[in-house]
Structure 1
Amino acid sequence: MSIDRVREYFKQYGMGDRILEFPVSSATVELAAQALGCEPCRIAKTLSFMVGEEPVLIVMAGDVKIDNAKYKAKFGKKAKMLTMDEVVPLIGHAVGGVCPFAVNEGVSTYLDESLKRFPTVFPACGSSNSAIELNMEELERFSSSKEWIDVTKVI
């Protein structure tokens, strides 16, 4: 199970006990915000794309979406999200629990600037009913992100 993989990942840093699991779904921004009792914008949603032959994750605030012009300027191509059937084999987590932790080899992760306005955010932890609260330094460190980018706009 994907959450077990993420739990093991965080355990090596002494942070396994910080993963939150809910008795309800947190598979969407709205559901996660309800489960956590926070504003939807503080949910760090992770979207998966294919850039050429490389799977890419972009972690962004819950109140933004991809800005196609910014995305194309950054990656040199139009945004192409992975299909539901591609996500598990390429990323290692199912839709609803996709996160930037304990992903498959060869997946590049980017953090969007939209997250920097918050002291902490809540990314998923590999299942559709989990999250972890991280500050920006922790998010950067534990996601093994390549860099901070600006490829979104407010919904």
Structure 2
Amino acid sequence: MAGKGTPATALLTKRKVPHAVHTYEHDPGESSYGSEAAAALGIAEERVFKTLVAEVDGKLTVGVVPVTGQLNLKALASAVGGKKAKMADADAATRATGYVLGGISPLGQRTRLPVVVDESVRRFDTVFCSGGRRGLEIELAPDDLVSLTGATVASIAG
């Protein structure tokens, strides 16, 4: 696992963005990926952000929220000027991002989707997000996450 790059890590390296890559042994029986990452890496869950793909008015959109919260679909729709949102089909999310569920990174996605990051990201000097596969987390500054994804920052966690 270690040493094998992903589109997310390649993007960070190409853009010369300061970051740290953290790996841990993913338990295949675990489905709460963010909580598993926080526990394995010994960090507060509030600093680990999960990447969720939703459909806003029929268009795939990414919400990035702390693993301690849930994505507020109404707030996500509002943040991108939409009316109605629902969680995207898992296959559609995988096809669009190029990543497997539990390993979807907001960085280096196959198709550049609109991204909204929850405003709580600004509470920390660094945050963690998926590096593009289960068991791989990237630590970076919140401003770099927002800049690299072209994200809107809004209150989208419920």
User: Are residue 96 (structure 1) and residue 109 (structure 2) matched?
Assistant: no
Q: What aligned pairs does 1:1-155 form with structure 2 within 5 A after superposition?
A: 3-15=5-17, 18-25=20-27, 28-74=33-79, 75-145=81-151, 147-153=152-158
What secondary structure does 1:64 align onto? coil
Letter of the 1:92 partner, please give it.
Answer: G
Structure 2 Cα separation of the partners of residues 65 and 137 of structure 1: 22
Question: Please, which moves more after superposition, 62-71 or 132-141?
Answer: 62-71
Give the 3 Å change call, closer, same or farther, for CA 7–71 of structure 1 in structure 2: closer
Structure 2 Cα separation of the partners of residues 44 and 86 of structure 1: 21
Structure 2 Cα separation of the partners of residues 60 and 118 of structure 1: 13
Structure 1 Cα separation of the partners of residues 125 and 69 of structure 2: 17
Q: What's the TM-score once normalised by structure 2's chain length?
A: 0.82
The C-alpha deviation readout for 1:115-145, integer Å capped at 9, x for no partner, is 2222221000110111111122111122232
Count of residue pairs brought into register by the alignment:
151
Structure 1 Cα separation of the partners of residues 23 and 150 of structure 2: 23
Question: Please, which moves more after superposition, 64-73 or 92-101?
Answer: 64-73
Structure 1 Cα separation of the partners of residues 60 and 149 of structure 2: 15
- Are 2:48 and 2:129, in contact at CA under 8 Å, matched by a contact in 1? yes
The C-alpha deviation readout for 1:81-100, integer Å capped at 9, x for no partner, is 11222211122211101111
Identify unmatched segments of 5+ residues in structure 2: none
Give the 3 Å change call, closer, same or farther, for CA 29–3 of structure 1 in structure 2: same
- Are 2:8 and 2:132, in contact at CA under 8 Å, matched by a contact in 1? yes
**What is the percentage of aligned positions where both structures have the same residue?**
23
Give the 3 Å change call, closer, same or farther, for CA 143–34 of structure 1 in structure 2: same
Structure 2 Cα separation of the partners of residues 60 and 72 of structure 1: 14
Structure 1 Cα separation of the partners of residues 76 and 123 of structure 2: 20
